[in-house]
Structure 1
Amino acid sequence: MTSNTMSKITQADIDAMPIDTKLALVEAIWDSIATSPEAVPVPQWHKDILDRRLADENAETDSWENVKKRLGKQ
């Protein structure tokens, strides 16, 4: 789809779509973005937060299994 084609899709067109069509469209868009993750810009503030967290030797960590169990109890 070219930007010219995209300009033809209006908010009214989107609003008229059934939810399953909207979800399929969002999934297709996300999948196309995921094929080139290096093309997705990462804001500097995200990098700064990650750097701070990685540098924090006192940071508490937990296993993915424990996190999933905790979230399941909510």
Structure 2
Amino acid sequence: MISLQALHELPLREKLFVMEALWDDLSAAEADLEVPAWQKEVLDVREEAIAAGTAKFIEWEDAKKEILETVR
């Protein structure tokens, strides 16, 4: 197994290659992953709001601005 220190020392291109290989491996096992109960509940509430017509949507650019303001 490669150590974290070895990963830190890799050139950027090799880091990206390792990251893509890891992502491909994780994606292949996607069916084995379970959504945590709390995330399922959040999604269910959001789906219900959409079905009821009470969900509010904003433009993606506005959402990004709000996120940036929150984290600054």
TM range (shorter): 0.5 to 0.7
Correspondence for 2:19: 26
Q: Which has the higher helix share?
A: 2
Once the two structures are aligned, what percentage of the paired residues are identical? Answer: 28
Matched, 1:59 2:55: yes
Secondary structure at the counterpart of residue 41 of structure 1: coil
Match of 1:43 among 36, 47, 55: 36
- How far apart are residue 12 of structure 1 and its match? 2.0
Segments of 4+ in structure 1 off by > 2 A? none
**1:14 and 2:7 equivalent?**
yes
Q: Mind listing any 5+ residue stretches in structure 1 that lack a counterpart?
A: 1-5
What value does the CA root-mean-square deviation take over the aligned residues?
2.0
Shift of 1:32: 1.3
Q: Deviations 1:20-66 (Å, cap 9, x if unpaired)? A: 1111101111111112311122111110000001111200247xxx6
Q: 1:36 to 1:11 in 2, by over 3 A?
A: closer
Gaps of 5+ in 2: 66-72
Partner of residue 3, structure 1 = none
